[in-house]
Amino acid sequence: MTADERARLVEQTASAWRPRDRDGRVRAHPAWYDLDDTGRREAFEAAAGIRWIEASLDREGLSSTARAVLVRIGRDR
Amino acid sequence: MALDLDEIAAALALGDADAFAWWLARAEPALRRSLASFATHIDVESILQESLLRVWQVAARYQPDGKPNGLLRLAMRIAHNLAIDAVRRDRTGVRDFDDSDDANTPSIEPVEPDPLLRQAVERCHAELPDRPRAALEARVASGGASPDRALAEALGMRLNTFLQNVTRARQLLAACLERRGIRLDEVWR
């Protein structure tokens, strides 16, 4: 795997989008499976940092993780 | 004075989704931190979202136990149990994981958003070049509802270009915040 490919996998894993299974349960991002331990740790830290930024920019202090949950429970669009 | 998120328990008992949003904004960072030791074994984001959905399902029946942040402690138990189940389901991923390790015991520290930090982020965000800012904003606006490929298409970018722009936005924001004395890799810990 090249450094660019690895960086792309980390960035995708750091997003809040996640697939769901037939029962509606949240599943792991497909890119996460292709990362080694270092990449997974890097993706975790990138996600934590970017969620903090998202929450800081949001009028309610909500990150995209929180928004994803609020969409699922029907509060947001 | 320590923040007690159980102050909105009465509103949650009535199924108030706005109260849950208030709780989410303050509980999510602590919950995410509590899953840090699982980061190489499970996809923490998926476990975190599933845990938060389950917290909402039980929130209306939640009864405070007199100690602060009972719902957050419950959320951490739910998240921890889901994480352990996921590790056990994927036995190939167990390796050196030890779920009895004290290092896996979460701390309980919800946080109130800091207006000064928020101001610094807003200023740094305003300084971003157009394309990295557009990519980052597309992610935020979608609220996790769309995969990156769809967001990239909507912006007229190839997926790789979109991801490079998100990375660049993140790096530029981190550098800008650091110039203001804020280390992005420390604020969320």
State the Cα–Cα distance between residues B44 and A32, nearest whole angstrom.
10
What ipTM does the predicted assembly reach? 0.97
pLDDT value for B103: 47
The pLDDT tens digits of the residues spanning B115-158 come to: 888 999 999 999 999 999 999 999 999 999 999 999 999 999 99
The radius of gyration of chain A's CA atoms, rounded to the nearest angstrom, is 14
The minimal CB distance from B45 to the residues A16, A25, A67 is found for A16
Mean per-residue pLDDT, A60-66: 95
The pLDDT tens digits of the residues spanning A5-56 come to: 999 999 999 999 999 999 999 999 999 999 999 999 999 999 999 999 999 9
pLDDT value for B83: 96
**Residue with the larger pLDDT of the pair B109 and A74:** A74
Instruction: Indicate the burial class of B47 (C-beta count within 10 angstroms; 0-12, 13-18, 19 or more).
Output: buried
The pLDDT tens digits of the residues spanning B152-181 come to: 999 999 999 999 999 999 999 999 999 999
Instruction: Considering the domain delimited by B5-104, tell me its CATH architecture.
Output: Orthogonal Bundle (1.10)
Domain segments of chain A: what residues?
3-17+28-72
pLDDT value for B3: 86
Instruction: Indicate the burial class of B188 (C-beta count within 10 angstroms; 0-12, 13-18, 19 or more).
Output: buried
Q: Specify the residue for token string 């157009």.
A: B130
The pLDDT tens digits of the residues spanning B37-79 come to: 999 999 999 999 999 999 999 999 998 888 899 999 999 999 9
Q: How many CB atoms lie within 10 A of CB B126?
A: 9
Instruction: Kindly determine whether residue A51 and residue B26, on different chains, have CB atoms separated by under 8 Å.
Output: no
Domain segments of chain B: what residues?
5-104, 115-187
pLDDT value for B96: 57
The pLDDT tens digits of the residues spanning B75-122 come to: 999 999 999 999 988 765 555 555 554 444 555 677 777 888 899 999
The single-letter DSSP state of residue B154 is H
CATH number of B115-187: 1.10.10
Q: Specify the residue for token string 């991801």.
A: B163
pLDDT value for B70: 93
Q: What are phi and psi of B14, to 5 degrees?
A: -90, 5
Task: Assign B182 to helix, strand or coil.
Answer: coil
Residues 17-76 of B with CB under 8 A from A: 17-18, 20-22, 24-26, 28-29, 32-33, 36, 39-40, 42-50, 52-53, 56
Mean per-residue pLDDT, B22-29: 95
Structure tokens at A27: 């599943």
pLDDT value for B58: 95
CA nearest neighbour of B111 among B46, B169, B31: B31
Instruction: Kindly determine whether residue A46 and residue B33, on different chains, have CB atoms separated by under 8 Å.
Output: no
3-class SS string, B62-120:
CCCCCCCCHHHHHHHHHHHHHHHHHHHHCHHHCCCCCCCCHHHCCCCCCCCCCHHHHHH
State the Cα–Cα distance between residues B92 and B39, nearest whole angstrom.
15
